[in-house]
């Protein structure tokens, strides 16, 4: 047998795809250089290159060093497509926003956007990519597609929307799933969320302490998180010996315009309220505007408390009292739980504490 190794090393295509622009920082962008090229240059097999680059102990330190240098010289990076295929993983976590029918247009609420930013941080810290998906009405189809296509190692679902039952069914068959939202008795999936009930109760107690009695509740109680906040609201009222007045419960949507319209409509027929507890800061801000247009001053005539503590809340005029959710902690927790699920660990849902931020919009009436 003639020397096969030599023959390979002398093969006509050294690596010269094209100009090979030298050591310039961006010389080889585009992924033309492959592992086989590095192997040939180093005079070893692909196996050895793979092992060297993966840090395996099975390669001679000298060989490894040479390979690493060659790889660096040609600014080679492992092709993640191929690697992931072989390892049957993806290196990608999907973040999915189920959009309710209301706001088909987009992820509007700053709370969710801030959450997204934090998740991106957390995931990139762990070397994972973040795949962003919005899902419209047909959640089941799109979600299963996403999973089956093998594009993702796990899913973070932001908000339960009104899809609780579907999520439950999905969870039966798909493990690496963490949902931001309210923990419910029959949840078969892992949730991370705030103590909605407790936070809301604290807010309403605060309004009661200020002497308010006719406190409107603004929010769509079909959403589990809002339902939990409503529980806190009603619980705080009961504790004070008051009962819930059904005419003070407004099922307003979460988007700005919808909320504004709903609240305006309400104020057109009923203005006998002295406080408002809104299920989100966006709703609270819409409420303040609507109140203003109806000649009611905040906090003088009506006190307002929101929920979330989005960035603008403190900067708003009047500064918005609100129940603070710790978004950064929430994101960290979701990612942490998801990776533990991926590793097969059994984990439990988490409920995070909230903090009542009292600001100008609910200052004690003079």
Partner DNA sequence: CGCAGACTTGCAATCGATTGCAATCATGAT
Partner DNA sequence: ATCATGATTGCAATCGATTGCAAGTCTGCG
Which positions touch DNA (CB under 7 A)? 4-5, 31, 34-36, 43-48, 50-51, 53-54, 57-61, 63, 78-79, 81-83, 85-88, 150
* Closest C-alpha among 314, 309, 304 to residue 329: 309
DSSP helix/strand/coil, 134? strand
Cα separation, 276 vs 362, in Å, equals 9
Residue with smaller CB distance to DNA, 88 or 105: 88
Cα separation, 134 vs 158, in Å, equals 10
Binds 231, which of a copy of itself, DNA, none (CB < 5 to 8 A, cut-off by type)?
Answer: none
Q: Site residues (CB under 8 A) for a copy of itself?
A: 21, 24-31, 33, 75-82, 84-85, 90, 92, 105-108, 110, 113-114, 116-118, 120-121, 124, 129-134, 140, 144-145, 147-151, 169-170, 172-174, 256, 285-286, 288-289, 292, 311-312, 315-318
Are 139 and 327 spatial neighbours (Cβ–Cβ below 8 Å)? no
State the minimum distance, in angstroms, from the CB of residue 245 to a copy of itself.
Answer: 28
DSSP helix/strand/coil, 278? strand
Binds 60, which of DNA, a copy of itself, none (CB < 5 to 8 A, cut-off by type)?
Answer: DNA
Cα separation, 251 vs 327, in Å, equals 25
Binds 169, which of DNA, a copy of itself, none (CB < 5 to 8 A, cut-off by type)?
Answer: a copy of itself
Residue with smaller CB distance to a copy of itself, 76 or 266: 76
Binds 144, which of a copy of itself, DNA, none (CB < 5 to 8 A, cut-off by type)?
Answer: a copy of itself
Binds 103, which of DNA, a copy of itself, none (CB < 5 to 8 A, cut-off by type)?
Answer: none
State the minimum distance, in angstroms, from the CB of residue 23 to DNA.
Answer: 20
DSSP class of residue 360 equals: G
State the minimum distance, in angstroms, from the CB of residue 298 to DNA.
Answer: 58
State the minimum distance, in angstroms, from the CB of residue 140 to a copy of itself.
Answer: 5
State the distance between the two ends of the chain, measured CA to CA, in whole angstroms. 100
Cα separation, 284 vs 51, in Å, equals 57
State the minimum distance, in angstroms, from the CB of residue 209 to a copy of itself.
Answer: 25
CA distances from residue 63 to 36, 59, 68, 78, 246 in whole angstroms, order as listed: 16, 7, 9, 18, 77
- Residue 332 CB neighbour total at 10 angstroms: 17
State the minimum distance, in angstroms, from the CB of residue 288 to a copy of itself.
Answer: 7
Binds 72, which of DNA, a copy of itself, none (CB < 5 to 8 A, cut-off by type)?
Answer: none
Cα separation, 22 vs 28, in Å, equals 8
Binds 302, which of a copy of itself, DNA, none (CB < 5 to 8 A, cut-off by type)?
Answer: none
Residue with smaller CB distance to DNA, 20 or 314: 20
CA distances from residue 91 to 36, 47, 244 in whole angstroms, order as listed: 23, 22, 49
State the minimum distance, in angstroms, from the CB of residue 226 to a copy of itself.
Answer: 21
DSSP helix/strand/coil, 308? strand
Cα separation, 208 vs 210, in Å, equals 5
């Amino acid at each position: 047998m003639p020397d096969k190794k030599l023959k390979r090393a002398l093969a006509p295509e050294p690596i010269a795809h094209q100009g090979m622009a030298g050591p310039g920082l961006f010389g080889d962008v585009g992924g033309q250089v492959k592992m086989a090229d590095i192997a040939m240059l180093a005079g070893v097999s692909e196996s050895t290159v793979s092992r060297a680059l993966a840090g395996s102990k099975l390669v001679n330190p000298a060989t490894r060093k040479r390979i690493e240098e060659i790889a660096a010289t040609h600014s080679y990076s492992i092709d993640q497509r191929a690697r992931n295929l072989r390892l049957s993983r993806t290196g990608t976590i999907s973040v999915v926003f189920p959009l309710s029918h209301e706001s088909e247009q987009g992820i509007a609420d700053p709370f969710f956007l801030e959450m997204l930013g934090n998740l991106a941080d957390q995931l990139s810290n762990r070397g994972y990519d973040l795949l962003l998906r919005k899902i419209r009405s047909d959640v089941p189809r799109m979600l299963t597609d996403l999973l089956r296509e093998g594009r993702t190692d796990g899913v973070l679902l932001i908000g339960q929307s009104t899809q609780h039952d579907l999520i439950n069914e999905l969870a039966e068959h798909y493990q690496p799933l963490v949902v931001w939202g309210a923990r419910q008795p029959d949840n078969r999936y892992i949730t991370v969320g705030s103590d909605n009930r407790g936070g809301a109760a604290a807010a309403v107690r605060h309004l009661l302490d200020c002497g308010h009695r006719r406190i409107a509740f603004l929010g769509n109680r079909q959403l589990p998180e809002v339902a939990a906040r409503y529980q806190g609201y009603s619980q705080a009222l009961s504790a004070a010996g008051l009962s819930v007045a059904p005419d003070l419960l407004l099922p307003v949507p979460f988007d700005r315009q919808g909320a504004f319209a709903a609240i305006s409509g309400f104020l057109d027929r009923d203005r006998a309220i002295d406080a408002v507890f809104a299920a989100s800061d966006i709703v609270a801000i819409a409420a303040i505007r609507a109140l203003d247009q109806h000649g009611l001053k905040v906090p003088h005539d009506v006190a307002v408390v929101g929920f979330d503590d989005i960035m603008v809340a403190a900067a708003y005029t009047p500064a918005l009292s609100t129940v603070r959710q710790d978004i950064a902690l929430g994101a960290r927790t979701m990612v942490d739980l998801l990776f533990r699920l991926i590793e097969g660990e059994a984990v439990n849902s988490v409920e995070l504490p909230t903090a009542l931020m009292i600001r100008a919009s609910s200052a004690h009436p003079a």
